[in-house]
C-alpha cells in the first residue's frame, strides 16, 4: 500500500498590498504550497489562532501594526511558527533587527521566486529540526520525571525500612528494661509535641524524633545486673550506667543518617544547670533536641509504672517539671511543655495506646484470615500504663525528676 503524502505546509502571506499578496500566493500555490493571505498583522494573528500555521511571510512595513509587531506576537503566541520578513531596499538595519528578534530569514521586496522557495524550504527544515529537538527534550524530561518518582519511592522505602529497623531495635531494648515496650515511642511523641510548639518542623523535627527514639540505645552495653537492678545504684554501678550516652553515641555517630540524632543520644542526660552527664554541658551547649527530650523523658518516667513503684499522675509530674525549670530543664522548653497542658499530654499517651491496640487488632485479624474483631484482642505486652488517679508513687517519696531517668 502506498503511503499518503503529507499535506503541503500552510504558508500565511501578510502584506497590506493586495497585489503582492496575490503574486506571492499564486507563485507558491503553483509550487505546491497551501497558502492563506492576510492584509494586516491582526488578521494574520486571528488566522494563525484557528489553523496550524508552520510559516508566515510578512511584509515589514504595514500601516498600523507593522511586521515587527507581528513577529513579536507570533514568537510569543505561536513559538513554533517560522517567520520570514520581506523588507524594502535600504532597510538593512531593520532586517538585522528582525533576525535578532527571532525571524528565520529576510528577503528584499520583490523577492525572486528561487530565493523565496529556498528561504521557505530552509525555514521549514529548520522548524522540523527544532520541533524534533523539542519533542526529544520533552521525552527526556518525562523520563527524568519518571525516574525521579521511582527514585523517590525507592528512597522512601529505604527510609521506612531504616525507621522500622531502628524501631525494632529500640522496642527490644525497651522490653529489656521496662515492663512495657512503649517507653521510647511515647517519649518520641512527647518530644515532637513540645518541639512542634517551639516551631521546630521539617527535617529538624524528624532528626529530634529519631534522637529521642534512640536515646538509650547505649544501654545495650550496660550489664543486666546494673540496668535491671530494682532500687538505688551503688557509686560503682552508677559509673557503669553513666557510660550509656557515650556507648550510644559511638554506636550511631558513624552512620551519616544518624549524625544529628547521635548528638541527642550523647547529651540526653545533660542538665540545663550543667550538673548532668557525661560532659556536664549547660544551657545552649546542650543540643535543643536533648533539652526537649529531657522534659519528655522525665514526664514518661514519672507517669509510668515500674516493678518497684507505681507511676505518679500527670498533674504531679507537670508540677515537678515546672519546679525544676531553670535547673534541670530549659525554661523555654518547660514553657512549651506547659502550653500543651495536662489534657493534651494525657491525650498523646491515650492516642498512642489506642493506635497500638488498633494495630495489634488488625494484625490479629489478618492472622485469623480476616473477619471481624472487636479490637480488644492481641494487645500483647502493651495496654495502657496510665497510672490510677492519685496513685502517688514517686511523689510520695519526693523523688526529684533527676532520680527517675538514667
Ligand atoms: Fe538515658
Q: Tell me how far the alpha carbon of residue 281 lies from the centroid of ligand 1, in angstroms.
A: 15
Please tell me the predicted confidence (pLDDT) of residue 43: 94
Compute CA distances 123 → 49, 116, 346, whole Å.
Answer: 20, 10, 75
For residue 325, report the distance from its CA to the centre of ligand 1, in Å.
Answer: 19
Report the distance separating Cα 359 and Cα 353, nearest Å.
10
CA of 60 relative to ligand 1 center, distance in Å:
82
pLDDT at 382: 30
Architecture of domain 178-403: Orthogonal Bundle (1.10)
Maximum distance among all Cα pairs of the chain, rounded to whole angstroms: 111
Query: Ligand 1 centroid to 394 CA: how many Å?
Result: 19
Which CATH number, 1.20.120.1460, 3.40.50.10740, 3.40.50.2300, 2.40.50.140, labels domain 10-138? 3.40.50.2300
- How far is Cα 29 from Cα 328, in angstroms, rounded to an integer? 92
The residue among 278, 290, 272 whose CA lies nearest residue 328 is: 272
Distance 267 CA to ligand 1 centre (A): 9
Q: What is the pLDDT of residue 178?
A: 66
Predicted structure pTM score: 0.60
| DSSP characters over 132-180 | HHHHHHHHHHHHHHHHHHHHHHHHHHHHHHHHHHHHHHHHHHHHHHSSS
For residue 109, the model assigns a pLDDT of 84
Task: For 39-104, list the strands marked E by DSSP.
Answer: 55-59, 82-87
208 Cα to the center of ligand 1, angstroms: 15
In degrees and rounded to multiples of 5, residue 58 shows phi and psi of -125, 140
Task: Give the pLDDT of residue 198.
Answer: 97
Q: What is the pLDDT of residue 186?
A: 92
What is the C-alpha to C-alpha distance for residues 263 and 249, in angstroms, rounded to an integer?
Answer: 7
The C-alpha atoms of residue 119 and residue 99 are separated, in whole angstroms, by 13
Nearest to 334 by CA among 343, 347, 345, 323: 323
List beta partners, residue 37: 13
Domain boundaries, the chain: 10-138, 178-403
Residue 372 has what pLDDT? 41
Phi–psi pair at 352, nearest 5 degrees: -65, -40
Give the C-alpha separation, 281 to 295, whole Å: 16
C-alpha cell at 372: 471481624
Compute, in angstroms, the gap from residue 244 CA to the centroid of ligand 1: 7
Residues of the chain with pLDDT under 70: 1-3, 178-181, 369-406
Nearest to 70 by CA among 121, 9, 15: 15
Q: What is the distance in angstroms between the CA of the first residue and the CA of the last residue of the chain?
A: 86
The pLDDT of residue 94 is 80
Cα of 270 from ligand 1 centre, angstroms: 10
- The predicted pLDDT at position 96 comes to 84
Q: Say how far apart CA 101 and CA 93 lie, in whole Å.
A: 13
- 126 Cα to the center of ligand 1, angstroms: 71
Amino acid at each position: 500500500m502506498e503511503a499518503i503524502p503529507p499535506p503541503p505546509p500552510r504558508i500565511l502571506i501578510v502584506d497590506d498590498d493586495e497585489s503582492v499578496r496575490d503574486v506571492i500566493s499564486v507563485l507558491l500555490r503553483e509550487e505546491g504550497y497551501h497558502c492563506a493571505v492576510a492584509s494586516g498583522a491582526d488578521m494574520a494573528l486571528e488566522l494563525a489562532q484557528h489553523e496550524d500555521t508552520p510559516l508566515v511571510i510578512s511584509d515589514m512595513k504595514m500601516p498600523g501594526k507593522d511586521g515587527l509587531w507581528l513577529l513579536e506576537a507570533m514568537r510569543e503566541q505561536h513559538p513554533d511558527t517560522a517567520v520570514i520578513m520581506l523588507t524594502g531596499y535600504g532597510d538593512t538595519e531593520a532586517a538585522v533587527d528582525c533576525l535578532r528578534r527571532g525571524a528565520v530569514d529576510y528577503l528584499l521586496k520583490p523577492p525572486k521566486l528561487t530565493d523565496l522557495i529556498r528561504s521557505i524550504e530552509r525555514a521549514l527544515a529548520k522548524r522540523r529540526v527544532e520541533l524534533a529537538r523539542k519533542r526529544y527534550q520533552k521525552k527526556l524530561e518525562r523520563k527524568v520525571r519518571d525516574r525521579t518518582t521511582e527514585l523517590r519511592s525507592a528512597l522512601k522505602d529505604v527510609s521506612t525500612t531504616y525507621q522500622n529497623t531502628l524501631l525494632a531495635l529500640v522496642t527490644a531494648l525497651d522490653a529489656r528494661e521496662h515492663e512495657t515496650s512503649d517507653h521510647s515511642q511515647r517519649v518520641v511523641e512527647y518530644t515532637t509535641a513540645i518541639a512542634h510548639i517551639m516551631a521546630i518542623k521539617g527535617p529538624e523535627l524528624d532528626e529530634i524524633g529519631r534522637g529521642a527514639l534512640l536515646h538509650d540505645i547505649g544501654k545495650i552495653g550496660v550489664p543486666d545486673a546494673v540496668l535491671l537492678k530494682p532500687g538505688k545504684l551503688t557509686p560503682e554501678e552508677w559509673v557503669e550506667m553513666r557510660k550509656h550516652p557515650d556507648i550510644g553515641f559511638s554506636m550511631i555517630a558513624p552512620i551519616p543518617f544518624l549524625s544529628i540524632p547521635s548528638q541527642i543520644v550523647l547529651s540526653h542526660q545533660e542538665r540545663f544547670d550543667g550538673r548532668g552527664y557525661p560532659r556536664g554541658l549547660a544551657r545552649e551547649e546542650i543540643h535543643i533536641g536533648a533539652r526537649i527530650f529531657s522534659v519528655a523523658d522525665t514526664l514518661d518516667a514519672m507517669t509510668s509504672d515500674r516493678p518497684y513503684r507505681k507511676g505518679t499522675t500527670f498533674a504531679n509530674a507537670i508540677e515537678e517539671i515546672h519546679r525544676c525549670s531553670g535547673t534541670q530543664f530549659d525554661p523555654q522548653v518547660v514553657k512549651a511543655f506547659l502550653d500543651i497542658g495536662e489534657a493534651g499530654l494525657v491525650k498523646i499517651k491515650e492516642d498512642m495506646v489506642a493506635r497500638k491496640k488498633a494495630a495489634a487488632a488488625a494484625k490479629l485479624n489478618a492472622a485469623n484470615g480476616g473477619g471481624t474483631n472487636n479490637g480488644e484482642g492481641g494487645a500483647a505486652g502493651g495496654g495502657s500504663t496510665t497510672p490510677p488517679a492519685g496513685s502517688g508513687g514517686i511523689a510520695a517519696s519526693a523523688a526529684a525528676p533527676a532520680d527517675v531517668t538514667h
